[in-house]
Structure 1
Amino acid sequence: MRDYVSRVVDTELDELFPGLPAITLEGPKGVGKTATAQRRAGTTFALDDPAARELLAADPARLDRADHPVLLDEWQRYPAVWDLVRRSVDRDPTPGRFLLTGSATPVTAPTHSGAGRIVRVRMRPMTLVERGVQAPSVGLGDLLSGRRAPVDGDTAVGLPQYTDEILRSGFPAIRDAPARARRAQLDGYLARIVEHDFPEQGHLVRRPATLLAWLTAYAAASSTTASYNTILDAATPGDSEKPAKTTTIGYRDVLTQLWLLDPVPAWLPSRNPFSRLAQGPKHQLADPALAARLLGATEDSLLSGAATGPRIPRDGTLLGALFESLVALNLRVHAQANEATLHHFRTRDGRHEVDFVIQRGDHKVVAVEVKLSATVDDRDLVHLHWLRDHLGEDLLDAAVITTGPHAYRRADGIAVIPAALLGP
């Protein structure tokens, strides 16, 4: 059996579970939710097993009699269990009683949101730190502290290895397989979404090829703010009978319920010094390996800059977009560990944009640019300087994430950090 690899979310669960009666761990299939939850469970009900569902339906009081913590794995397969847990917590709010894992938002919604009883925690594919690429030397928490601490560290990880990590994926059961087996597993993952997961969500796919074409166009839009009309046009070039808007909205909604789409929302600060900001999300799939597979990208095609997949307007190469997706995955996991949220920033006229803005609870932020380059020059920092001038003390720190070998802080105070060296 594969040894358990510690995850960033483990620390969050260790901090939360002793003070909360119930937590639901949510995220796409295959990210490791069950393995992480089972390490804390006294009793497990695998609710993708009909026998386990029948057992609970016949005797709901088993939840109270079982050895706690109780793990309810794939709870969305038996949505009634949500209200059973909520009522049990109302009777006994002792911390550490229930863990639920879910790979989809259930079609039949629970009768109660669970607010105040069940706390949601998101789990995503593995970060570079969790993959063991290299021990980090810079923490996002340090950047969020606002102390402007020294930044240092060196890495031998370069563009070829980052490209390999994009293709290898952050799904624990997929990433270590041989290359051909890994491609087959990714194909199977995508096929299951169309053939099984959509019907389980109550959405019959009458034209699977159209859904896959839309999802492929969405993958091509990774790290862009392309409109959904642009994505639809790219999915159906020259097709006079395009699917209805309600159809593609259905695709988007179900893929969101399956945690497969993970768009980065626009930053709309409450203390807003800006008059006109773009509000559309920046598109991302849960794992850049899925995007690469949908687009037929290979190590050679990515490194050579060869065009693959539908045409979506974007600045730079597909490799640059997928490297930004990889950085986005890392930043989201590390931001969550620090009780912060990830956004992107763009003025409506497009004159100023910053790849990522990480916001603390007090609305102060760290700004991050991503560069598919080993070096940084002043031209790469224009938007960071502009944002710093406008935010003043609300900007805690600013950084550029690169593919280079060295982490350091420039004379102007901006941190330069190789992606492999950034941790929580």
Structure 2
Amino acid sequence: MFYLENEVKRHAEPLLNEMLSESPIVVLEGARQVGKSTLARSVASEREALELTLDNPEVADFAAHDPLGFLRQAGERLLVVDEAQREPSLVLAMKQLVDEDRTPGRFLVTGSADFLKTRGASDSLAGRAEILSLEPLSIGELHERDTPEDWVNWVVNGAPGDLESFTPERTREAILAGGYPVPLQRQTIRARNRWFESYVREVSSRDAAELSAGEFVVALGRMLKMLGSSGQTEMVYSKFARQVGVSEGSARRYLGLAEQMYLISELPAWGLGLNSRAVRKPKMALLDTGLAAYFSGMTAEKTRMVGGQEYFRALAEQFVVAELRKQRTWSEERFNLFHYRNRNDEIDIVIELFDGRLVVVEVKAGLSVQPKAWHTISTLIPDDRVAARVIVYLGEQFQRRSNNTYLMPISSLWTHPAL
């Protein structure tokens, strides 16, 4: 069972330090309990800083009644404001102070809701703030990898070198565990489930109520459970609304709220230049596979059973997308993630690099790969833009089938050598 004994260094920390050296405001955003405050404290400990949280009622009252005075109290030190989305008036106050003095590293604000969706924030902070989205822990971070894993960069450079050993069973455990730091510090499934239960109750009541004036609280928990029981799934809003028991318009608003709270992620459909048979629906999933496994009651034993195997396939796809999304924060390659499906076949993940090249990825949750998978990945998207075609699976074998076509373990995402 995956277990986190010590606090680990985040791969995003050098990037956060770089942002603070260049920008007067840095916004560190992400879901509640993914480690934003810990990372902010680590960065603040290396410089003179004043750290405050709006979770403290007295601090929040000061910020609400005198936002300029609140922001000026750090003087020339870095001011770290945790849960900054709780006081929208800080946005305009920061704008005023930064327009007076654009010295880098003045403010580091964190939030478990999208701070820049606060009224007026996007326009007010344009050109003044940089944003870093923090995801749950990557497997490379959990295993304290010295060099941040960068799978896309490794693959497009020919996948050189040997993989570190990582058994299929450990990969299965990694998928089910997810990357939230606190539950990973608990040594039993029961203890982890208690944490997730409390977490869902907190975000569905307190956080959701603050952002929506109580409108979404009742159905949000049902919606999260429905998504958690589906893995990475194509979103048909009318069907989803019926399953949750709300109107389609309400379902879309609930999903928007969950996305603002960083609880879900969207994988858009890719279709540039392809024929009209392409289906353009996004895939939706919970941010973290550990949270999804909690909602579905999935365990390692159940993944081997009839019914559980099908769900585990969807969960494995969700896991690979999540790990790639984490690596995008620090990768040497700039890329976006998509999926592709026409009426007959689909590609799980299409990685589009900023220079237009593609890496096409199929995810298999078994110890072997059927011939049809090779046909799909080799023919569905034309060769002219494809830099690599990869099937990742639960097994351990690495196989180079041609110059740019590979069979790799899912664990290659974090066991590949550094370039």
Residues 194-236 of structure 1, C-alpha deviation per residue, up to 9 Å, x if partnerless? 222221112425883x54333222223321214122223334x
- Which of 387, 391, 411 pairs up with 1:396? 387
C-alpha offsets along residues 221-256 of structure 1, whole Å, 9 cap, x if unaligned? Answer: 321214122223334xxxxxx423333233212211
Q: Distance in 1 between matches of 2:383 and 2:274?
A: 8
1:28 corresponds to which letter in structure 2?
A: A
Preserved contact between residue 164 and residue 299 of structure 1 (Cα < 8 Å): yes
Query: What is the aligned counterpart of 2:132 among 117, 121, 124?
Result: 121
**2:15 aligned with 1:43:** no
| 1:63 maps onto 2:71 in alignment | yes
- Per the TM alignment, residue 181 of structure 1 is displaced from its structure 2 partner at its CA by 1.2
| Counterparts of 1:401 and 1:40, CA distance in 2 | 36
Conservation of the 8 A alpha-carbon contact between 2:377 and 2:389 = yes
Partner AA of 1:90 in structure 2: D
Alignment correspondent of 1:87 = 96
Alignment-derived partner of residue 304 in structure 1: 305
Deviation string 1:283-328 (CA, Å, 9 cap, x unpaired) is: 1101112112112222222222345xxxxxxxx7101111111111
Q: How do 1:186-335 residues align onto structure 2 when only pairs under 5 Å count?
A: 186-204=196-214, 208=218, 210-235=219-244, 242-269=245-272, 272-306=273-307, 317-335=310-328
Partner of 1:312: none
Larger deviation, residues 277-286 vs 133-142: 133-142
- How far residue 5 of structure 1 moved from its aligned partner, in angstroms, is 1.0
Identity %, equivalent residues: 25
TM-score (norm: length of structure 2): 0.86
- Bigger drift between 22-31 and 106-115 goes to 106-115
Q: Given the alignment, which residue of 146, 160, 182 partners 1:150?
A: 160
What is the match of residue 73 of structure 1? 82
* Correspondent of 1:166 among 163, 175, 179: 175
CA RMSD of aligned residues (A): 2.7
Amino acid at match of 1:343: L
Q: CA deviation at 1:274?
A: 4.2
Q: Give the residue type in structure 1 aligned to 2:158.
A: R
Which of residues 403, 410, 413 in structure 1 aligns to 2:401? 410
State the alpha-carbon separation in 1 of the partners of residues 378 and 105 from structure 2: 46
Instruction: Name the CA distance, whole Å, in 2 between partners of 1:213 and 1:59.
Output: 37
Distance 1:402 1:28, change over 3 A: same
C-alpha deviations, 1:110-132, integer Å up to 9, x for none?
35532111122211111111121
Check conservation: 1:31, 1:126, Cα contact below 8 A: yes
Please point out which of 339, 346, 349 is paired with 1:353.
Answer: 346
Equivalent-residue separation in structure 2 for 1:38 and 1:133 (angstroms):
19
CA distance in 2, matches of 1:76, 1:137: 30
Q: Is the CA contact (8 Å cut-off) linking 2:359 and 2:386 kept in structure 1?
A: yes
Matches within 5 A, 1:14-25: 14-25=17-28
Whether the aligned pair in 2 keeps the contact of 1:22 and 1:118 (CA below 8 Å) is yes
CA offset at residue 34 of structure 1?
Answer: 0.8
Q: Determine the C-alpha separation between the residues in 2 that align with 1:31 and 1:300.
A: 27
- Separation in structure 2 between the aligned mates of residue 419 and residue 162 of structure 1, nearest angstrom: 7
Paired residues of 2:208 and 2:216 also in contact (CA < 8 A): no
Distance 2:375 2:351 in 1: 18
* Structure 1, gaps ≥5 residues long: 236-241, 308-315
The residue type equivalent to 2:108 in the other structure is: L
**Offset from partner CA, 1:356-413 (integer Å, 9 cap, x none):** 122222232222111112344543222321255x141x22222222222233422353
Q: Is the 8 A contact 1:218 1:283 kept in 2?
A: yes
| Counterpart for residue 376 of structure 2 | 383
Distance of aligned partners of 1:15 and 1:207 in 2 relative to their CA distance in 1, 3 Å threshold: closer
Contact 1:340–1:361 (Cα < 8 Å) also in 2:
yes
Q: Distance in 1 between matches of 2:119 and 2:358?
A: 35
User: Which residue among 330, 336, 342 is the counterpart of 1:337?
Assistant: 330
Mind listing any 5+ residue stretches in structure 2 that lack a counterpart?
none
The amino acid across from 1:230 in the alignment is K
Give the structure 2 partner of residue 311 of structure 1. none
Structure 1's 183 and 347: CA in aligned 2 closer, same or farther, altered over 3 A? closer
Residue type at the aligned position of 1:403: L
> Any conservation in 2 of the 1:345–1:354 contact (CA below 8 Å)?
yes
Query: What CA deviation, in whole Å up to 9, does each residue of 1:166-193 have, x standing for no partner?
Result: 3323111111202211110011111122
Q: Determine the C-alpha separation between the residues in 2 that align with 1:26 and 1:134.
A: 24
Alpha-carbon distance in structure 1 between the residues aligned to 2:149 and 2:408: 8
Question: SS state of the match for residue 396, structure 2?
Answer: coil
